[in-house]
Structure 1
């Protein structure tokens, strides 16, 4: 992965005049890629990816918006401090970045961990939130404590095979809680994890090719990067406690679920999270919606944020 392109090179490869930049905000140095003109739209990615997960949708969205894809605290080109990985603090990072960029209020869309941060942003900074979209995720709540340690036959596995199961067995939620061990196991081997996660959670593995997988593996190739990514999961207990203090968000909220399973999950989880909630299914997609069905995501986001 020594020939993995830099963030600056990747940004220049996208139509829309995208530029890779950094900003010192909230005590952390954040990397972001911005392009286009118009009202600001913040894009927040998830694990184990970077801002690059939005590369298929950024040019189309930038046709009428100022699109800003951010590497979260601990991700990619951003700093990887020892703490601050609860989603409330990470949302404060994004607020400080929006202020740094000269915006009073923004639309914000997040996938996976980024969706959790997007929700925390809306819950804690309502005056700065126009609309939010959550892609195949909801903010942590006490239901997270009910996830099974073992895959449930017929629901998460068939004949002992979790790949044959109709649901997702979230074993990495527990794996990422273990201190020190994941870093030692994965350093220099992150492509193994990236491949497994993608192949397990997509409808069509070819939707995310070798080049993209190399970019993600490179971003999680060091001890510091693996530790930081795990820290997002280790903060779930604090996130759940923080979530108990949040009322329903008042900003219009769109949930996009990957396929029927993701749609049904968000349909059950999101209605009590906001006062104006819409949930839609992205047909033919698994978890990595922006890369699997970019045209559908662009259509949904363009309509919703209009």
Structure 2
């Protein structure tokens, strides 16, 4: 991993391989470490760029700018700094939200877009995901509360993460996929000064993201091919309607035997799906 200055931020980035550039965006509450099994499986055919998103890992933790339009602009600056003007984007969880903001603002740069256990807040029925009374997850509201989550989670990062990874809904199916050492990597990253604020900042920006996403989707649909990969033990294809509302050419795939953390639970299967999708001729 290297650190690269791009615009006003410094990104911690894993790069590997050669060929068509592919940007790999991790989800919450993780880092680029989540792609550790996928990168070696794709490096023989693609130039991979896997950054820690702003506010995560060893990347900068800015004071603001966690709305996904701004995060996308900052990630785009990183790709340009690395010499990539056209590239595919693969986003897991939160990374898919950033991927949409990137593709919607700069559709001439993003050749293909892959959502992995991800969707677009504000579109379709996504608002239910943040409402526990309608089957959604409690953590959306908790993470959005000012200040309190930092006070409660600080010093208990490992406990919080372990609960999230092992929860009954949207947790791991393959529990060994994120073992004690892996949990330690994520807990250490979240314990870095300012990291909790940066992590929760992505959730506190959701009202702005929802408004932005609705404007972007109403302006134009995504023209590039889009793949939506869901896990039967995770979000599945429950966010598919949000993507079909925003894109013209959408292919859905459901992976059995995995929870929400597909890059770690089913890396070979996910890498195969990504490779096949990126290698297809445009239709």
TM-score of the superposed pair, with normalisation by structure 2: 0.92
User: Does 2:108 correspond to 1:127?
Assistant: yes
1:188·1:222 contact (CA, 8 Å) conserved in 2? no
Matched with 2:152 is: 185
Does 2:93 correspond to 1:112?
Answer: yes
**Structure 2 gap segments, 5+ residues each:** none
| Shift, 1:144, TM fit | 4.3
> Higher Cα Rg: structure 1 or 2?
1
Residues 1:202 and 2:202 are matched in the alignment: no
Which residue does 1:17 correspond to in 2? Answer: none
| Residue-by-residue CA offset, 1:15-74 (whole Å, 9 max, x unaligned) | xxxxx1122223111111101111111100011110000101100110111111111111
| Structure 1 CA distance for aligned equivalents of residues 235 and 99 of structure 2 | 18
Alignment correspondent of 1:33: 14
1:254 aligned partner: 227
In the TM superposition, residue 260 of structure 1 has moved relative to its aligned partner by 6.8
Taking the aligned partners of 1:44 and 1:139, their CA distance within structure 2 comes to: 15
CA distance in structure 2 between the aligned counterparts of 1:256 and 1:205, rounded to whole angstroms: 20
Query: Residues 187 and 222 of structure 1 are in contact (CA less than 8 Å); yes or no, is this contact kept in structure 2?
Result: no
Aligned pairs for 1:147-296 (under 5 A) are 147=129, 149-151=131-133, 156=135, 169-200=136-167, 201-246=171-216, 247-259=220-232, 262-296=235-269
Q: CA deviation at 1:95?
A: 1.0
Instruction: State yes or no: 1:102 paired with 2:83.
Output: yes
Please report the RMSD computed on the Cα atoms of aligned residues, expressed in angstroms.
Answer: 1.6
Distance 2:55 2:237 in 1: 31
| Equivalent residue pairs, number | 272
CA distance in 2, matches of 1:111, 1:230: 17
- Runs of 4+ aligned residues of structure 1 deviating over 6 Å after TM superposition are none
Higher relative contact order (CA 8 A, sep 6+): 2
Q: TM-score, normalised by structure 1?
A: 0.85
- Counterparts of 1:47 and 1:293, CA distance in 2: 18
Q: Deviations over 1:225-278 (max 9, x none)?
A: 011000000101111111122122111110100117633313333212201111
Q: For 1:148 and 1:111, how far apart are their aligned partners in 2?
A: 18
SS of 1:252's equivalent in the other structure is strand
